[in-house]
Structure 1
Amino acid sequence: MTTAINRDDIIDIYCDESGTDSGRYLVIGGLWVKRLYHPIILRQLTAFRTKYELTREIKWAKISKGYFNQYKDLLDLYFNCWNRVRFYCIVVEKQKVDWHTYHHNDHELGFYKFYRLLIRYRMSGEYRYYLWADQRNNRVPNRLHTLQCYANMDCTKHIGVSPLVHVQEINSRMSDIMQLSDVLIGAVRACYCEDISGEAKVEFCNYLQSRLGVSSLSEIENKRDALFNIWKWRPKTNMP
């Protein structure tokens, strides 16, 4: 008989990515939310939408001068949930990846190996994890379930449990938390690429950095317990 999992012991991971097709950096990341706090965060996001009469999708790409105050308020909402949600991402400088040796020149395979790195090193044995990933058009089917299998194998070896109990692709339009992930990931990649198009996006990144107490997102170190964590991947020492 399967034992029910207490929601206090569940963490939902809402993952997205930026830079898979072009640009210097690939960023994979998302929001880790204890299921216990889900209703609180969703109520705040619903109130945010109601305040601005928003029906469209919230996205990094849509930040503009006319919508800056809305996205600034969204960032404030995130920081008001600071003790209930964590943001983790991995930043990969693509030209430093040995695609041939480690990924058989398969960039899709490499993408999911970096994905696994991020997920694996953020899981512990005390929780069970549900991964909700933004939809992707993959060449090879079942990539996400393969990620689950290998991540659990790694965890079983190191911590004695298989904590990733569910993986599923979802349409980001159906999840406000996923959309918030998109905004934060887009900001991280833009700051690393130093290629921020539009004054509103520059102001948004500056405001994010000021809320975090740094002059640049590149100053943020990979610390396991940090509430806003950026892991700058380095070759050889961090090979997937």
Structure 2
Amino acid sequence: MTSLIYNIYCDESCHLENDNIPVMVLGGVYCRAQEVRRISRAIGDLKRHHGLAPDFEVKWTKVSQGKVDFYQDLIAMFLRDDALHFRGVLIPDKGALDHERFGQNHDEWYYKMYYTMLRYVFAAPNRYRVYLDLKDTRGGRKARHLHEVLCNSLYDFGHETVERVQQVRSHESALLQLTDLLIGAIAYENRGLAGSTAKTALIADLKAALGPGALSQTSAFQNRKFNLLRWRANEVRQ
């Protein structure tokens, strides 16, 4: 069987242990590596169509009424492009975690959650390149350790399945920016926020296309376009 190479662009929202926000989301947009240039170019074309600069960075925090048409078109592009897929894990209440009980700290649990998210995507004999948003000076160590965790969990000691885990700057990756947008929508929905009409419009578009519970409930396993796991603290053996 011929192997394919996939790129996975990963990010997280509200992931800090003591940020006073109960909800946490991990997510990744993925596609075949050969599709990245085409999709990135299409997103650039969409920016130009809406009068935005080529280097305008797509971010959930930047969604506003003045740019809502652009963001809605971007969501529509994601939904109709069969090459694009999303996988996410929603942790609805970080306060329910009991790291001491399971002999771990928050960082160790964080890596386990990344594996929980990505193992759904991995399928032999395909190969994968994982890209993380560069956030701080600890990022290089985090990327190396995540690569080790993923490969060990998959018995991929030769790095034949997970070829690389590396950081990229979000402003340089249109697909990483798309990940930020989707996980932002999930976090916003599950925090019960409704102060932005533009953001609620994007959420309504996603629900209309994917189903009313798509941003808050566990997806059917076969859903590969948009697949979400709603993780609970007592599901550590899942």
User: TM-score scaled by structure 2?
Assistant: 0.87
CA distance in 2, matches of 1:132, 1:141: 12
Which stretch shifts more, 56-65 or 218-227? 218-227
Question: Counterpart amino acid of 2:73?
Answer: D
1:155 and 2:150 correspond? no
- The equivalent of 1:113 in structure 2 is 112
> Residues 1-240 of structure 1 correspond to what in structure 2 (within 5 A)?
9-21=4-16, 22=19, 23-55=21-53, 56-81=56-81, 83-92=82-91, 93-102=93-102, 104=104, 106-137=105-136, 142-156=141-155, 162-214=160-212, 217-239=215-237
1:216 deviates by 5.6
Aligned-pair identity in percent equals: 26
Structure 1, unaligned runs of 5 or more: 1-5
Give aligned pairs, total: 230
8 Å CA contact retained: 1:155, 1:162 = no
Cα distance change on mapping 1:193 and 1:171 into 2, 3 Å: same
Provide Cα deviations, 1:101-157, integer angstroms capped at 9, x if missing partner.
3364x3233222211221233211121100010013265861221111121122128
Runs of 4+ more than 3 Å apart: 138-141
Q: What is the SS of the residue equivalent to 1:187?
A: helix
State how far apart, in whole Å, the 2-side matches of 1:177 and 1:41 are. Answer: 8
CA contact (8 A) 1:222 1:231 kept: no
CA deviation after TM superposition for structure 1 residue 224, in Å: 4.9
Unpaired runs of at least 5, structure 2: none
Tell me the equivalent position of 1:3.
Answer: none
| Superimposed CA distance per residue, residues 23-68 of structure 1 (whole angstroms, 9 cap, x where no aligned partner) | 1111010101111222321221121121123232110011111111
Counterpart residue type for residue 10 of structure 2: C
1:59-112 CA deviation, whole Å, 9 max, x = no partner? Answer: 00111111111111111111121x1011000111212221223364x3233222
Q: 1:115 to 1:215 in 2, by over 3 A?
A: closer
C-alpha RMSD over aligned residues = 2.4
Partner of 1:221, secondary structure, is: coil
Higher helix share: 1
SS at match of 2:154: helix
Does the CA-based 8 Å contact 2:65-2:198 persist in structure 1? yes
* AA at the equivalent of 2:145: T
How far did residue 221 of structure 1 move? 1.7
Structure 1's 145 and 222: CA in aligned 2 closer, same or farther, altered over 3 A? farther
Change (3 A) 1:136 1:150: same
Report the TM-score when normalising by structure 1: 0.86
Aligned residues of 2:47 and 2:70 also touching (Cα < 8 A):
no
Match of 1:58, SS state, is: coil
1:177-226 Cα offsets, whole Å, 9 max, x none, are 11011000000111111123311111111111112132562245251542
Q: Is the 8 A contact 1:103 1:109 kept in 2?
A: no
Structure 2 vs 1, CA of residues 174 and 67 (structure 1 numbering), >3 Å: closer, same or farther? same
Secondary structure at the aligned position of 1:24 is classed as: coil
